[in-house]
Structure 1
Amino acid sequence: MQTSDASMKRKFNFVFYYAIISTSVFLLFILSSFVLKDKTLTADEITVKRIMVVGEDGTTPRVVISNETRQHSGRLDGKDMPPRQRDAGIIFFNNTGEECGGLCFGVKKEDNTLYHGVYMTMDNYRNDQVIFIQNSETYRNGEREISRGININEYPAGALPLGAAIEKLKQIDSIKDPKEKEAQFNAFIEKDGPRRRLFLGRTENNNNGLFLTDSNGHPKLDLYVDKNGNPRIDVIDSTGHRKNILH
């Protein structure tokens, strides 16, 4: 009886330690499959909701590809921006981790209105978009507004960086007096806001052509075919008066 008990004990110990060792080896194998440091993963196809390419520090983003739910909120002055709604697409970051452009696309429905947009953007250093390619479509009550083309903007010398501009706009938005709020906002745009310098494409009025402005964003020369098919070259003076020099 004692011999039988000793034999059973040895068998139990063997099974017990075998289970521990085999489980440990299995877990090590599973973990190692997820840790591919300094290795290359090759696959024919992957299905994901988000991909994030980071710098050599392992944390600072360089490129984020994501659906609209998991999209990166953006990064400014070395910190991630607060969570916000963004479209699906690709967000680019420079080697200091600041957002510098991207590609986004999406559809939004509100009541009887449908918005469809596809945009590729390039940002001014420490500021917002200065070059962007757009396709913007709005459908409302059986009618449509479409704008598509290439925009080039610029910020005035000495304009507030984006972070400071956002804080300034928050202060303006907190002003109770509507007239004072509008005056402060207009002053901000005049001093620190972007100016459109060039648009090449179709406007919401279905004018197709090249539209140029001065350094303050005021229209100066429009070369286009209007919605009725008429060619025009409009020269705009400092008062806003237009003259079609083709007539």
Structure 2
Amino acid sequence: MATTEQLAKQIKTLKIILGVLIVIIVIFGIKLFNTGESTATELTLQRLNIVDGNGKLRMVISNKQKQHPGIIDGKTLSKRERDAGMIFFNDDGDECGGLIYSGNKKEAGMAYSVDQFKNDQIMQLQYSQDNEDKKSKSYGFKLWDRSDDFTAGRLISHFDSLNMKEGTKAYREEVARLKAKGYLGTERLFLGRNKAGQTGLFLSDGKGRLRLKIFIDSLNRPLIQTLGEKGEVISTLNGAH
């Protein structure tokens, strides 16, 4: 039977061996992450932050629960619900676009957006569907006009100063007022399939009013329509024989 002195020596030896092993593991780990020769076959995580050489955030890949709320004028926005996907950040650290997606029994969608500098999206490739009414779906390419003066940061400050709650009548009226002035962006082009089942090119004027449609309707008829300021059809060219 080993004596107390022998047991103490064995424990001391084990501690030394364990310490050496820890140092080897640490050195190996550092080498693994600092060389381009490392490989991995699988990585499981809820969120991945990509930064540049100075540690500035450039991209976030995340699930819905941990998705980044966005950064505008260098300030991180308040936590809000956002879909899973990738969010991109520019050289100044502001959000500048992304790819988001969702899907459940009620609805499904995906969108790749390109943001205007200091503002919201000006280009978007999108798909949207109401799963309770499968005929109600749209997909295609969109373009917007946005003000260079009324930036996203200014919009946030504007509503913060008014202390309005989203969804209230006063909030909706203010949104409508800003939209009428073109401060919230104006959709100018849609190329794709709309919820009416029409597939084609749809062009709007500077106030967001649909003015020209070149499309195939749900009955497979090729049509060209011009519309007035109130949405009324002014002329129709039917390409069917």
Same fold (TM over 0.5): yes
User: Is residue 2:46 matched to residue 1:46?
Assistant: no
Per the TM alignment, residue 105 of structure 1 is displaced from its structure 2 partner at its CA by 1.1
User: Is residue 2:219 matched to residue 1:223?
Assistant: no
2:164 to 173, 176, 181: 173
- Judge conservation of contact 1:172–1:184 (CA < 8 Å) in 2: no
Per the TM alignment, residue 8 of structure 1 is displaced from its structure 2 partner at its CA by 5.7
Distance in 2 separating the partners of 1:169 and 1:230: 46
2:68 to 47, 51, 72: 72
Distance in 1 separating the partners of 2:122 and 2:24: 49
User: Is residue 2:16 matched to residue 1:28?
Assistant: no
Deviation readout 1:7-65 (Å, 9 max, x if unpaired) = 964x455434433332322333343454456423322333333322111123x221222
Distance in 1 separating the partners of 2:145 and 2:23: 55
Judged with a 3 Å threshold, the aligned counterparts in structure 2 of structure 1 residues 105 and 177 are, in CA distance, closer, same or farther, namely closer
**Unmatched segments (≥5 aa) in structure 1:** 1-6
Distance in 2 separating the partners of 1:182 and 1:21: 70
Per the TM alignment, residue 99 of structure 1 is displaced from its structure 2 partner at its CA by 1.3
Judged with a 3 Å threshold, the aligned counterparts in structure 2 of structure 1 residues 177 and 107 are, in CA distance, closer, same or farther, namely closer
Output the TM-score relative to the length of structure 1.
0.81
Distance in 2 separating the partners of 1:67 and 1:181: 30
1:246 match: secondary structure: strand
Judged with a 3 Å threshold, the aligned counterparts in structure 2 of structure 1 residues 34 and 189 are, in CA distance, closer, same or farther, namely farther
Report what 1:116 is aligned to.
108
Output the TM-score relative to the length of structure 2.
0.83
RMSD: 2.8
Distance in 1 separating the partners of 2:168 and 2:40: 60
Distance in 1 separating the partners of 2:167 and 2:102: 34
Report what 2:85 is aligned to.
89
Per the TM alignment, residue 106 of structure 1 is displaced from its structure 2 partner at its CA by 1.0
Partner amino acid, structure 2, of 1:199: F
- Judge conservation of contact 1:173–1:181 (CA < 8 Å) in 2: yes
Judged with a 3 Å threshold, the aligned counterparts in structure 2 of structure 1 residues 106 and 230 are, in CA distance, closer, same or farther, namely same
1:189 to 179, 182, 198: 179
Judged with a 3 Å threshold, the aligned counterparts in structure 2 of structure 1 residues 129 and 243 are, in CA distance, closer, same or farther, namely same
Report what 1:162 is aligned to.
152
Q: How does 1:202-217 map to 2 (within 5 A)?
A: 202-217=193-208
Distance in 2 separating the partners of 1:149 and 1:99: 23
Judged with a 3 Å threshold, the aligned counterparts in structure 2 of structure 1 residues 53 and 200 are, in CA distance, closer, same or farther, namely same
Identity fraction in percent: 29
1:15 to 6, 10, 22: 10
Distance in 1 separating the partners of 2:77 and 2:206: 31
Report what 1:3 is aligned to.
none
Partner amino acid, structure 2, of 1:53: I
Distance in 1 separating the partners of 2:203 and 2:85: 30
Which protein shows a greater Rg? 1
Judged with a 3 Å threshold, the aligned counterparts in structure 2 of structure 1 residues 225 and 20 are, in CA distance, closer, same or farther, namely same
**Unmatched segments (≥5 aa) in structure 2:** none
Judged with a 3 Å threshold, the aligned counterparts in structure 2 of structure 1 residues 28 and 73 are, in CA distance, closer, same or farther, namely farther
My pick for the range that moved more, 11-20 or 47-56, is 11-20
Per the TM alignment, residue 149 of structure 1 is displaced from its structure 2 partner at its CA by 0.4
Judged with a 3 Å threshold, the aligned counterparts in structure 2 of structure 1 residues 85 and 106 are, in CA distance, closer, same or farther, namely same
